[in-house]
């Protein structure tokens, strides 16, 4: 657990606010104190915003912010149509 992140969440709880918390701590575990908060997790390029729910407790923050974008493979046997020459 990242101590800075816990400190930010404790401060938000004390003030009664639910603002988005930006974090780069992808390796941090999700604890029960985080449930109900919005976190913006950095994936190396941008921040991906998530709402922490009970089923996420025990997982790492990085699991909910993918770093790679999958672009699908082409279909099997697909041949690109040839445009007729004029």
- Model pTM score: 0.76
Largest CA distance in the chain: 73
21: containing domain: 3-64
Is residue 14 in some structural domain? yes
In 24-81, the DSSP E strands lie at 38-42, 47-51
- List, in sequence order, every residue forming a beta bridge with 51; answer none if it has no partner: 38
Is residue 41 in some structural domain? yes
**pLDDT digits 0-9 by tens, 54-82:** 999 999 999 999 999 887 777 777 777 78
Residue 36 has pLDDT above 80, yes or no: yes
Read off the CATH number of the domain in which 7 is found: 3.30.860.10
Report the pLDDT value the prediction gives residue 73, as an integer from 0 to 100: 76
Based on the structure, what is the number of domains in the chain? 1
Report the pLDDT value the prediction gives residue 48, as an integer from 0 to 100: 95
Report the pLDDT value the prediction gives residue 85, as an integer from 0 to 100: 75
Asked if 42 and 65 count as a contact pair (C-beta separation under 8 A), the reply is: yes
Asked if 61 and 41 count as a contact pair (C-beta separation under 8 A), the reply is: yes
């Amino acid at each position: 657990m990242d101590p800075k992140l816990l400190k930010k969440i404790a401060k938000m709880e004390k003030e009664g606010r639910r603002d988005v918390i930006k974090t780069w701590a992808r390796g941090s575990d999700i604890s029960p104190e985080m449930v109900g908060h919005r976190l913006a997790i950095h994936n190396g390029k941008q921040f991906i915003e998530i709402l922490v729910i009970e089923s996420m407790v025990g997982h790492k923050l990085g699991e909910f912010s993918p770093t790679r974008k999958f672009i699908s493979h082409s279909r099997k046997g697909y041949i690109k149509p040839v445009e007729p020459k004029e």
